[in-house]
Chain A
């Protein structure tokens, strides 16, 4: 305990000294997130300095082993780093699907060679990853995916199409689900494979969304040649890897709203609807919506903390991330409905500088994908019903 308190004090002092003031302000645009990768650009000097200091300390991913570029911290220490960063509002120095999705799967299923090849490039922000899961005819029914990988000597030849591939047009590498045995039952013929997005035959096409942005792509594979050694885990057992990775993806998505939007909702609402002499919002219904939301938000934060602690104690159910994903995404949609209501007509401007290019309505529309991506809310409830509650039926 005393050691942990010492660690907390050191962490606090180090962050105080090394986190630039600009990196402690709430993020206001997509450019504030640093994703790394071959073509990465820093949006400011402070962003670069903060990233480099954290990378050199091993704290882009504090809890990964040191030999793979992580900080080598145990669960308690990593929690302290998170808490101390949150206490000063420090931004994540590096965001990537390599950290939140591929890394955990590689640590569990990858060969030593695969870990040494890929993990250090993730922690150092050198390679940006994307996820090749969904297909036009394999959404909620992901295991019906049809992208084919056919053996050819030491290689596979991959043909097919993925969809909703987040940031595929910026990604350097892809982790991808492919069908390696079309004769087997649908869950049993899938493999999990890694390849470079600059490989011959890979192309991407951004999809314009209701927000006016294109965070997702269609991704096409036309006779893409990939070494068989790039399969993670056992050939035809890729569904195990895919499911394990999804648990981490869902945990990440459930926390999407966690960083909030800077100022408290009550203040944002007061700006537009006004308040009475006691400071109570002049819109009683809105006040009550915000208060109910904040009760649930605080409860969810406790549940997220507890989920980590339960996992550490070996007491968590592997499907619990589906429960958190369901609740977190529905809550984040509520947050943005409130923000839109609080903003009134000011939240409707789409292009002006005043509205920072319609940042709020675009973010509001983006949240509608939260309860679809990574498994819909309905799929999450089905998983909880069957895997946790053990209710009968297919």
Chain B
């Protein structure tokens, strides 16, 4: 498969870019932040996303979606990254839709997927517990109780957990922290007794949640996939999320870079455009090269996720590791090259820096994925 977008994919990109740049420029995020909006995104815009078929992009046709793949999801994420649009797209349309489509029973799929596609159901994936992403270290306990389970423990950094109508929760049903076996995924109603959600407004003006489970009862039908064998499903879903976030970081990096190059051509000091100085030219060129190489690695990973699941894990580790370091470099150079203006809240560039930091941590930072690659290769 050629490592370029097909004509259909280019059209999808153009339509996503048109909508997002028109309805949700960075000013949209800024407005929600300044208004201290507790939802943190526009429900009206989410409805438009559904009408355009974006919310059900990964939902199979028979459940009302478009049945497209990870490359297409990545295309939308890249456009989201360009304007930092806050949206349930990642939590609901990428993560939850993939989890349900891959691991759900027919009944579970029929119950939830059409609602994801039509925009009426918001969902969130609850994985992380400690400060760093370590899915194998999951401790939240699932204890058998009657016909079902009782869940007890804490989750953090649940993206969009504050607005979710449905939670997908990773829990330990057997074994101990660090074991691959013994993980189970559960579909949980956030209104269930014993469950407490705290919205956590983050540095990037997006929202996540800390969630406490105190003997939350779930029945056997709530199990997504197989009891104790949830890790494979979880890892597959996480890899899709990693590819998606890597795409967001490519869009974010590219946008910061474009704004920075424009500034280098406009800003004059010592009687000339600062972009004439070789010290800045070379750094700009290095950043450009870094972004283009990362862009290729991310597209490679998204294609692998759609075609060759076995190879995908390595390709995704490469993509997420690269995207993290590239985005970090892009926002740092972006702020530095904007000089004092880059430090002001009035300039948008700081929003990109904050979002890049959050994207680094989402589903494993560059260190995590570089380590994954090394372990995968046996050293």
Whether A associates with B in a native complex is yes
Inside 8 A of A323's CB, which chain B residues have their CB? 285, 288-289, 292
Kindly specify which of A23-31, A184-192, A264-272 makes contact with the partner chain.
Answer: A264-272
Complex contact B276–A393 (CB within 8 A): yes
User: Chain A 295-308, CB within 8 Å of chain B: the 1/0 string?
Assistant: 11011101101100
Q: Is B318 an interface residue (CB 8 A)?
A: yes
Minimal beta-carbon separation of B293 from chain A (angstroms) = 4
Q: Give residues of chain A (287-341) contacting chain B, Cβ–Cβ below 8 Å.
A: 287-288, 290-292, 294-296, 298-300, 302-303, 305-306, 309-310, 312-313, 315, 320, 323, 326-327
Complex contact B275–A393 (CB within 8 A): yes
Q: Is B2 an interface residue (CB 8 A)?
A: yes
Of B4, B264, B300, B370, which one neighbours A295 at CB under 8 angstroms? Answer: B370
Inside 8 A of A81's CB, which chain B residues have their CB? none
Known: A306-B299, A393-B281. A384 touches B275 (CB 8 A): no
Minimal beta-carbon separation of B127 from chain A (angstroms) = 23
Q: Is A391 an interface residue (CB 8 A)?
A: yes
Inside 8 A of A302's CB, which chain B residues have their CB? 3, 293, 296-297, 299-300, 318
Complex contact A291–B373 (CB within 8 A): yes
Of B4, B261, B281, B292, which one neighbours A313 at CB under 8 angstroms? Answer: B4
Inside 8 A of B289's CB, which chain A residues have their CB? 323, 326-327, 384
Task: Count how many chain B residues have C-beta atoms less than 8 Å from C-beta atoms of the other chain.
Answer: 42
Which residue of B is nearest A293, CB measured? B370
Inside 8 A of A153's CB, which chain B residues have their CB? none
Complex contact A391–B275 (CB within 8 A): yes
Query: How far apart are the CA atoms of A327 and B265 in the complex, in Å?
Result: 25
Of A288, A303, A385, which one neighbours B296 at CB under 8 angstroms? Answer: A303
Which residue of A is nearest B371, CB measured? A291
Which residue of B is nearest A294, CB measured? B373
Chain B binding surface SS class:
helix
Q: Is A208 an interface residue (CB 8 A)?
A: no
Minimal beta-carbon separation of A176 from chain B (angstroms) = 30
Inside 8 A of B370's CB, which chain A residues have their CB? 288, 291-292, 295
Inside 8 A of B284's CB, which chain A residues have their CB? 385, 389, 391
Minimal beta-carbon separation of A385 from chain B (angstroms) = 4
Kindly specify which of A6-14, A85-93, A130-138, A275-283 makes contact with the partner chain.
Answer: A275-283
Query: How far apart are the CA atoms of A326 and B289 in the complex, in Å?
Result: 9
Q: Is B314 an interface residue (CB 8 A)?
A: yes
Complex contact B285–A389 (CB within 8 A): yes
Minimal beta-carbon separation of A303 from chain B (angstroms) = 4
Q: Give residues of chain B (1-57) contacting chain A, Cβ–Cβ below 8 Å.
A: 2-4
Inside 8 A of A294's CB, which chain B residues have their CB? 373-374, 377
Minimal beta-carbon separation of A392 from chain B (angstroms) = 5
Complex contact B293–A303 (CB within 8 A): yes
User: Chain B 340-379, CB within 8 Å of chain A: the 1/0 string?
Assistant: 0000000000000000000000000000011101110111
Q: Is B147 an interface residue (CB 8 A)?
A: no
Q: Is A21 an interface residue (CB 8 A)?
A: no
Q: Is A378 an interface residue (CB 8 A)?
A: yes
Q: Give residues of chain A (350-394) contacting chain B, Cβ–Cβ below 8 Å.
A: 378, 380-382, 384-386, 388-393
Of A279, A296, A309, A382, which one neighbours B2 at CB under 8 angstroms? Answer: A309
Known: A303-B292, A393-B276. A267 touches B379 (CB 8 A): yes
Complex contact B281–A385 (CB within 8 A): yes
Q: Give residues of chain B (204-239) contacting chain A, Cβ–Cβ below 8 Å.
A: none
Inside 8 A of B314's CB, which chain A residues have their CB? 298
Query: How far apart are the CA atoms of A5 and B274 in the complex, in Å?
Result: 52
Complex contact B286–A381 (CB within 8 A): yes
Inside 8 A of B369's CB, which chain A residues have their CB? 295
Which residue of A is nearest B300, CB measured? A302
Q: Which of B292, B294, B315, B379 has the most CB of A within 10 A?
A: B379
Which residue of A is nearest B286, CB measured? A381
Inside 8 A of A381's CB, which chain B residues have their CB? 281-282, 285-286
Inside 8 A of B319's CB, which chain A residues have their CB? 299
Q: Which of B273, B296, B315, B377 has the most CB of A within 10 A?
A: B296
Inside 8 A of B296's CB, which chain A residues have their CB? 299, 302-303, 305-306
Complex contact B322–A296 (CB within 8 A): yes
Complex contact B373–A295 (CB within 8 A): yes
Q: Give residues of chain B (285-338) contacting chain A, Cβ–Cβ below 8 Å.
A: 285-286, 288-289, 292-297, 299-300, 314-315, 317-319, 321-322
Inside 8 A of B275's CB, which chain A residues have their CB? 391-393
Q: Is B278 an interface residue (CB 8 A)?
A: yes
Complex contact A299–B282 (CB within 8 A): no
Complex contact A295–B322 (CB within 8 A): yes
Query: How far apart are the CA atoms of A265 and B374 in the complex, in Å?
Result: 10
Minimal beta-carbon separation of A197 from chain B (angstroms) = 37
Query: How far apart are the CA atoms of A269 and B369 in the complex, in Å?
Result: 20
Of B4, B315, B318, B321, which one neighbours A306 at CB under 8 angstroms? Answer: B4
Query: How far apart are the CA atoms of A152 and B261 in the complex, in Å?
Result: 51
Minimal beta-carbon separation of A251 from chain B (angstroms) = 14
Known: A298-B314, A310-B4, A384-B289. A303 touches B297 (CB 8 A): yes
Inside 8 A of A279's CB, which chain B residues have their CB? 378-379
Inside 8 A of A295's CB, which chain B residues have their CB? 317-318, 321-322, 369-370, 373
Query: How far apart are the CA atoms of A303 and B319 in the complex, in Å?
Result: 12
Query: How far apart are the CA atoms of A386 and B282 in the complex, in Å?
Result: 10
Complex contact A299–B379 (CB within 8 A): no
Inside 8 A of A287's CB, which chain B residues have their CB? 374, 379
Inside 8 A of A280's CB, which chain B residues have their CB? 374-375, 379
Complex contact A300–B293 (CB within 8 A): yes
Query: How far apart are the CA atoms of A300 and B289 in the complex, in Å?
Result: 10
Which residue of B is nearest A278, CB measured? B375
21 contacts between A and B (CB under 8 A): A264-B377, A264-B379, A266-B379, A294-B374, A295-B317, A296-B293, A299-B293, A299-B294, A299-B296, A299-B297, A302-B3, A305-B296, A323-B285, A326-B286, A381-B281, A385-B282, A385-B284, A390-B265, A391-B261, A391-B265, A393-B272
> What are the 3 A-B residue pairs with the smallest beta carbon separation, nearest first?
A266-B379, A385-B281, A299-B297
A292-B370, A326-B289, A381-B286 known, 11 other contacts, Cβ within 8 Å: A266-B374, A290-B374, A291-B371, A291-B373, A294-B373, A295-B318, A299-B318, A302-B297, A382-B281, A384-B289, A385-B285
